[in-house]
Amino acid sequence: MTVYSDFAAFRADHDRCVATIGKYDGLHLGHQHVLDSLLATAKRKGEPAVVILSEPHPEEFFAGAQAAPRLTQFDDKVDFLVGYGVDAIFRMTFDAALCDLGAEDFIRQYLVDGLGVSTLIVGDDFRFGRRRQGDFALLQEKGREFGFEVEREISCELEGERVSSTLVRQYLQAGDCERVRELLGRHYSIGGTVVTGRQLGRELGTPTANIGLQFSKLPLQGIFSVLVQLGERELHGVASIGFNPTVEDSAIPKLEVHLFDFDEDIYGEHLLVSFVKKLRDELAFPDLDSLKAQMSLDIEQARTSLLALG
């Protein structure tokens, strides 16, 4: 699967495609419903299934640091979509030029001339173009003019709640990992490469793997029991995600994972960390001895919560 960022490279490989477009932040059940339709239509037509991803998110472009934290790093989106069976991703740069592009011009430049879309599948709340003037009716009109089809998928509801990235974010921030798992169809996870840290955990007797993050703001914070994918292996552990208030109170978010019964050099390895249960909030301890004692309790609680998974 290839990630494209310019039309020429894409059209060199693909003449026509079936596509969907959006942020796909969280890749929740609603997103998966659209992806299922994308893959089914692409298979029926014998064309590649393509996801057009907006980077950055429009809210990040307009609001900057005030934007809500994103749920999913770009690399994690790519990994998920590869596993889901998508054939290609087009990384659409959301900048001032795109923001000022009219809806009809967007259809011609991006969908028709740029990507050769034969069928576009969108959610029922999809808007696009300058001042969000474009809607499903305009897509249908221009589809008839330019020769592409448009399909609209209705919103997904779960137990009376409309599944959305905003809803997932709310439950994450509340520490309700179980409800998040229901909305996503899987545990919420963050992937990244193990990088060198301060190695304070090793000094305290609980070595941690420090995961490089692409987040500037975190969608969740605290101490969690976690499942960790390392290659083909699934490991158990406890993770801290936040700003290390006891040691440095950093402005840079950090994800640190202590893996149970594990003593291998994994610097440079990719880990996928899945958050199973929130154990507590981050706390600032008066000294390292107090922190060490609490870490022992966290490990015990995390082991218990993971054993309950069976």
**196-247 per-position pLDDT tens digit:** 876 655 665 688 999 988 887 899 999 999 999 999 999 999 999 998 766 6
Domains delineated in the chain: 2-158 (3.40.50.620), 187-307 (2.40.30.30)
- Is it true that the peptide bond before 56 is cis, omega within 30 degrees of 0? yes
Diameter over CA atoms, the chain:
71
Q: Residue 121 forms beta bridges with which residues? A: 20, 151
Ranking 99-103, 126-130, 137-141, 197-201 by mean pLDDT, the lowest is 197-201
- 284: Cβ–Cβ under 8 A, 6 or more apart, which residues? 245, 246, 249
Here the tokens at position 94 are 């959301």
Summarize the confidence of residues 159-182 as an average pLDDT. Answer: 97
What's residue 282's pLDDT?
87
Higher pLDDT, 57 or 308: 57
Query: How many CB atoms within 10 Å of residue 68?
Result: 16
**Using an 8 Å Cβ cutoff, are 299 and 206 in contact?**
yes
**Separation of alpha carbons 106 and 112, rounded Å:** 9
Backbone phi, psi, residue 174, to 5°: -85, -5
The model carries a pTM of 0.92
**Separation of alpha carbons 54 and 25, rounded Å:** 10
Q: What is the DSSP letter of 65?
A: G
What's residue 207's pLDDT?
87
**Using an 8 Å Cβ cutoff, are 276 and 189 in contact?**
no
